[in-house]
Amino acid sequence: MEPLRWLEIAEGVSCPAAVASGERRVTLFARGAGGELLVFEREQGAWSEPRSLGVPLARTEGGGFPTMPVDWPIAACATGPAEIQLLARGPEGELVHGTLRGSEWGGFECVGLPADQVGATAVPMGLASAPTACSRGSGKMDVFAVESSGRLLHSEWDGAEFAEFELLGTVVIGERIEPVRGPISACGCGVRAMAIAARGALGDLLIKWWDGAKWTPFASLGFAAAPDPVYPAVDFSVPIASAPVACGGGSTRLDVFARGQAGDLLHKWWDGKDWSPFESLGHPRSGADGTPTAFTGVSLACVWGKFQIDVFARAADGKLYNASSKGTWDHERPAPEETGARLISGRSPDPLR
């Protein structure tokens, strides 16, 4: 029996964001076909039907009704049992934030524009791309974003308020100086370390590291490899074709995923001592004939739970696929009734459900 690697889990959705929301539970957020924010939950291997949180809008200060549209993608960060923080960008580069507690959703609030203090003047800095976040402790969150001139921003959320954003600079590698290019991805590795993953201007994978006391500069982890078309036994370097997504497991594990030039999904990881080479997780197979289908490279998400790592990616056939690993990405293909696996439509029958 052919091993199973990629499983179809939804169609008509994009912009996934995933969090480990409990033991053996994953909560997945995605943009539905009508632009609404959908929530899926997987428990005991089975996915729930989507629940809609409505079209995302943010309230501004002093307003009693949603007044500001929210840009996609939306980031998700679990900060406690049944508590998930959602973050996004407003139309003028504002930071917007909302909290999902169990099934209670209060909507997004506009936090405002970050500001750079120049003398006695606060100069607004609009976010150039979607924010990202990770949590190193219950009820706390670190938020990162790229401002309009390409500098990396960082703020801490203590459960009630956001601290003023601090500037973490641009990409400086030797004589190479360039802006940080969003989207970026942040993940925590234990209670101390954090990592920021980004795609460099050359298409290489960039990592910036917080060791619990200080930030390192961005470092290049190089490129993916592909066989030379003339001499297949020889590999040559190729750029990654999308911004990366990253997730951490325990205090040492860090996994990074990105789209490859051939439309496959690439995987690279840090085991606490060394970085692996890029490996290809291949393509999903679509249709009755099992034709390989390329990933789009725009809609990616990954999450480390207590028992396994999951990666989610949208393919060119409009379906969202999931691969899981508990040490291997290949599994025997089970019957659908054994796993509860089924293809879920991204069209919610009731937008207020």
Q: Which domains are delineated in the chain?
A: 3-345 (2.120.10.70)
Please list, in sequence order, all residues whose beta carbon lies within 8 angstroms of the beta carbon of residue 232, skipping any fewer than 6 positions away: none
| pLDDT given for residue 64 in this prediction | 58
Task: Give backbone dihedrals phi and psi of 339, rounded to 5 degrees, phi first.
Answer: -115, -15
pTM for the model stands at 0.91
What stretch of H or E contains 339?
helix 336-339
* DSSP category for residue 36: -
In order of 86, 115, 152, the CA distances from 132 in angstroms are: 9, 18, 11
Residue in 53, 72, 37 with CA at minimum distance from that of residue 298: 72
Residue in 216, 271, 219, 264 with CA at minimum distance from that of residue 240: 264
Number of neighbouring beta carbons within 10 Å of residue 98: 21
Q: What tokens were used for 16?
A: 């996934």
In order of 34, 107, 281, the CA distances from 287 in angstroms are: 24, 38, 19
The answer to whether the CB of 31 falls within 8 A of the CB of 43 is no
| pLDDT given for residue 206 in this prediction | 98
The answer to whether the CB of 128 falls within 8 A of the CB of 146 is yes
Q: Kindly give the parts of the chain with pLDDT less than 50.
A: 1, 337-342, 349-353
| pLDDT given for residue 119 in this prediction | 77
Question: In 3-state terms, what secondary structure has residue 172?
Answer: strand
| pLDDT given for residue 115 in this prediction | 85
* DSSP category for residue 351: T
Number of neighbouring beta carbons within 10 Å of residue 274: 7
